[in-house]
Amino acid sequence: MLEINNTTKQKINILQTTKIVEKFLTVYQKSNWTVSLAIVGPQRIRTLNRKYRQQDQVTDVLSFSGTDLLISPSKSSTNKFLGEIIINISDTQKISKYQTTLKEIGLEKTKSAQQATYIFYFLIVHALLHLVGYNDDQVVARREMLDLGRDFLKKML
């Protein structure tokens, strides 16, 4: 289950976002778990990054496991809480930051709106991988996560 809190004016495709998250949860055997997705701007994510990771900088995505909860899931949910994803929607518009990833999947020549949408979903899947236990502290592990995210989205989009 997915709970979305969009604090920005940027529109997202709630149906497609929900479909991607729920499919991911099914594939990773977490279909009875809830994920919270907060969509924020650069100032808010910088504040959260500084407060919880001691890094005073804007980032594209943060993820917190259910034990590190920032925003409470709905009290009506009977599912277990997997965690929370916070996306800086402004960073999804910075296409040049993701050129390598876009090139690897053949999207480098598509319209920037399509690229930004892909990046948004890619960041969600990347954060979900963190929530199910993947870590990208080392180069090999990061490559594995990038490949898993790309392969998963290839099947979804």
User: Between the CA of residue 40 and those of 10, 24, 49, what are the distances in Å?
Assistant: 9, 22, 12
What per-residue confidence (pLDDT) applies to 101? 72
What per-residue confidence (pLDDT) applies to 79? 67
- The rounded average pLDDT for each run of 10 residues, N- to C-terminus, in the chain (157 residues) is 94 95 95 94 94 92 75 57 93 74 72 84 94 89 88 87
What per-residue confidence (pLDDT) applies to 67? 63
The CB-side HSE value for 5 (13 A sphere, CA atoms) comes to: 14
Q: Which helix (H) or strand (E) holds 120?
A: helix 112-131
What per-residue confidence (pLDDT) applies to 87? 95
Q: In what order do the strands lie in the sheet with 33-40?
A: 2-6, 33-40, 80-88, 61-65
- This prediction has a pTM of 0.85
Burial of 26 (0-12, 13-18, 19+ CB in 10 A): exposed
Fold of 2-156: Collagenase (Catalytic Domain) (3.40.390)
What per-residue confidence (pLDDT) applies to 68? 55
Which residues partner with 87 through β-bridges? 39, 61
What per-residue confidence (pLDDT) applies to 96? 67
